[in-house]
């Protein structure tokens, strides 16, 4: 048992580390590919040699980032088979479909038109090259679509049925995978990449101004970056609002963890700034926060778009207390009952397997009836107590606030950049304090982006597939020592790749500082 727990923990850390490294590269590719396409469009329409040089500079940085991102992404997908083979068996028919489409369609689209974009200068017509640049950007977003559809299905499993004969889930409605959860997640993640790329372009351009080099190049780049970043951030906020509504419907425990909320009220306030109480448990009387500044009605509006709505907390959810659409208090299935019924479902599945081996049709039908009645709670049967079904509250709570606070900062930042640079290019180019803020803002944007994924993934723990398969049941039967060795091996490799990318980018940027762009 200790070895199993160790294997689960190290596998989770390994997957989290790989995902975090991968997400350092993906949003920049998603956003910078759009910015490069916009710049090349301006160059094509104006027949401008200056804009063409600007386009090629940013395209080179895009190529560097794209190459490293591919390497981490491939390893991430392989880890499903190496570390999470039970998961891959149990739901592989559904989860594997969008990943296969991503590899066959989107990745080859990126590779084909990306090759033309990076190496086709002077070899194809200007119009075809511009089309290839846009198709590369579109291909990157399509690639993200299929991956995010797969991830969203883990958050909200639909379009499937359980086949007891195979002891696994099979797809019965492919289009159900495009649920409101998936659509919101896709636009939220991709558009946040626009915001990150906008911050990246502004930071690098500010470095040029800091060095007193290529003023016209920097100002033009800042304008495109700021407009793209602002558009991306506004749309990210809009889709974030939609995501909050969907989380309320499909993952209420995640929402409660995001807020550090144990007992809900009507109306329910939203904590703007606070410190969660580490001694607080779902069944004790400790206060939820050591300190908090809350916005009245905030969570009711965010979660249900109703200023007077009840939002259940962790204690309410565990006890099965909720409110229906009419505003009446109702009692759903408590977590204790879910665990009991989940164990009943697992026992029924075991009996079905025994009866199938004995060709006992009557016993098979009896077991199948019992399984179907309790299958919605199948995953809860792996838990021994309700505490195991509560996500890490503190990490989810703080990550959510980091994301929101930094997102609000960047809204002001992009607006300030646009207003100032259009009002007076000369004053903006000489404002060294603004250039310093712009460069510092880049790592803050990465922190904001990573915090969003921490909320999404840590907030749904302990599930690999919501309500269906917890991490402890999804793991591969491998020794923990193997996972520990590969964890540190990947940590070294990914760190070296990151250092290499940053080093190559810095070299290319400094080369641009010394030249006339």
Residue 517 is assigned to a structural domain of this protein = no
**Same domain assignment for residues 261 and 243:** no
The pLDDT of residue 450 is 93
What mean pLDDT comes out for the span 197-204? 96
The pLDDT tens digits for 409-466 are: 999 999 999 999 998 888 888 888 999 999 999 999 999 999 999 999 999 999 999 9
**Same domain assignment for residues 129 and 151:** yes
- Going by pLDDT thresholds of 50, 70 and 90, the confidence category of residue 2 is very low
Domain that holds residue 167: 2-251+392-511
**Same domain assignment for residues 124 and 154:** yes
Share of the chain above pLDDT 70, in %: 97
CA distance linking residue 164 with residue 161, whole number of Å: 10
**Same domain assignment for residues 170 and 247:** yes
**Same domain assignment for residues 39 and 174:** yes
Residue with the bigger pLDDT between 78 and 355: it is 355
- Does residue 329 have a pLDDT over 70? no
**Same domain assignment for residues 61 and 176:** yes
- Does residue 4 have a pLDDT over 70? no
**Same domain assignment for residues 312 and 365:** no
Pairing relation of β-strands 289-295 and 270-276? antiparallel
User: pTM of the predicted model, to two decimals?
Assistant: 0.90
Environment class of 237 (CB within 10 Å of its CB; exposed 0-12, middle 13-18, buried 19+): middle
Residue with the bigger pLDDT between 481 and 377: it is 377
The pLDDT tens digits for 360-408 are: 888 889 988 998 899 989 999 999 999 999 999 999 999 999 999 999 9
The pLDDT of residue 48 is 87
**Same domain assignment for residues 232 and 367:** no
- Does residue 3 have a pLDDT over 60? no
**Same domain assignment for residues 205 and 234:** yes
- Does residue 305 have a pLDDT over 90? no
The pLDDT tens digits for 26-53 are: 899 999 999 999 999 999 999 988 999 9
- Going by pLDDT thresholds of 50, 70 and 90, the confidence category of residue 327 is low
**Same domain assignment for residues 316 and 341:** no
What mean pLDDT comes out for the span 335-351? 92
Query: Closest by alpha carbon to 430, among 274, 219, 221, 266?
Result: 219
Task: State whether the Cα torsion 458-461-463-467 is positive or negative.
Answer: negative
* Of 356, 386, 416, the domain-final residue: 386
Buried b (16+ CB within 10 A) or exposed e, 323-332: beeeeeeeee
Mean pLDDT of the chain: 88
């Amino acid at each position: 048992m200790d070895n199993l727990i160790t294997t689960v923990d190290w596998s989770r850390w390994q997957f989290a580390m790989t995902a975090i490294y991968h997400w350092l590269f993906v949003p920049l590719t998603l956003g910078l590919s759009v910015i490069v396409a916009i710049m090349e469009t301006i160059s094509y329409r104006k027949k401008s040699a200056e804009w063409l040089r600007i386009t090629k500079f940013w395209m080179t940085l895009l190529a560097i980032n794209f190459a490293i991102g591919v390497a981490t992404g491939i390893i991430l997908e392989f880890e499903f088979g190496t570390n999470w083979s039970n998961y891959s068996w149990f739901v592989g028919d559904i989860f594997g479909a969008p990943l296969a489409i991503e590899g066959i369609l989107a990745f080859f689209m990126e590779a084909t038109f990306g090759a033309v974009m990076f190496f086709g200068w002077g070899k194809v017509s200007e119009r075809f090259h511009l089309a290839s640049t846009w198709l590369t950007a579109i291909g990157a977003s399509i690639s993200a679509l299929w991956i995010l559809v797969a991830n969203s299905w883990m958050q909200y499993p639909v379009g499937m049925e359980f086949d007891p004969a195979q002891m696994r889930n099979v797809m019965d409605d492919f289009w159900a995978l495009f649920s409101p959860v998936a659509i919101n997640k896709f636009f939220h993640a991709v558009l946040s990449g626009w915001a990150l790329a906008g911050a990246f372009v502004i930071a690098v351009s500010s470095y040029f101004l800091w060095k007193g080099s290529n003023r016209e190049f920097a100002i033009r780049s800042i304008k495109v970056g700021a407009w793209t970043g602002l558009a991306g951030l506004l749309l990210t906020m809009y889709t974030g609002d939609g995501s909050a509504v969907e989380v309320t419907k499909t993952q209420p425990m995640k929402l409660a963890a995001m807020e550090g909320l144990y007992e809900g009220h009507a109306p329910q306030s939203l904590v703007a700034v606070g410190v969660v109480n580490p001694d607080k448990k779902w069944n004790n009387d400790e206060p939820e926060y050591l300190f908090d500044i809350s916005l009245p009605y905030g969570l009711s509006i965010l979660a249900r778009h109703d200023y007077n709505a009840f939002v259940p907390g962790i204690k309410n959810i565990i006890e099965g207390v909720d409110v229906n659409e009419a505003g009446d208090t109702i009692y759903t299935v408590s977590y204790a009952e879910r665990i009991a019924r989940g164990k009943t479902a697992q026992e029924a599945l075991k009996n079905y397997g025994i009866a199938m081996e004995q060709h006992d049709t009557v016993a098979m039908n009896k077991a199948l009836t019992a399984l179907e009645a309790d299958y919605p709670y199948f995953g809860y049967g792996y838990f021994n107590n309700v505490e195991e079904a509560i996500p890490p509250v503190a990490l989810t709570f703080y990550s959510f606030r980091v994301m929101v606070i930094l997102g609000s900062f960047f809204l002001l930042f992009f607006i300030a950049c646009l207003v100032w640079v259009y009002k007076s290019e000369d004053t903006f180019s000489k404002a060294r304090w603004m250039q310093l803020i712009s460069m510092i803002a880049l790592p803050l944007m990465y922190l904001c982006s990573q915090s969003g994924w921490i909320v999404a993934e840590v907030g749904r723990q302990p599930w690999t597939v919501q309500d269906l398969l917890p991490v402890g049941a999804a793991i591969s039967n491998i020794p923990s020592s193997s996972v520990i060795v590969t964890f540190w091996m990947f940590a070294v490799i990914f760190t070296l790749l990151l250092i290499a990318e940053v080093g190559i980018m810095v070299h290319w940027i400094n080369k641009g500082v010394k030249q006339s762009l």
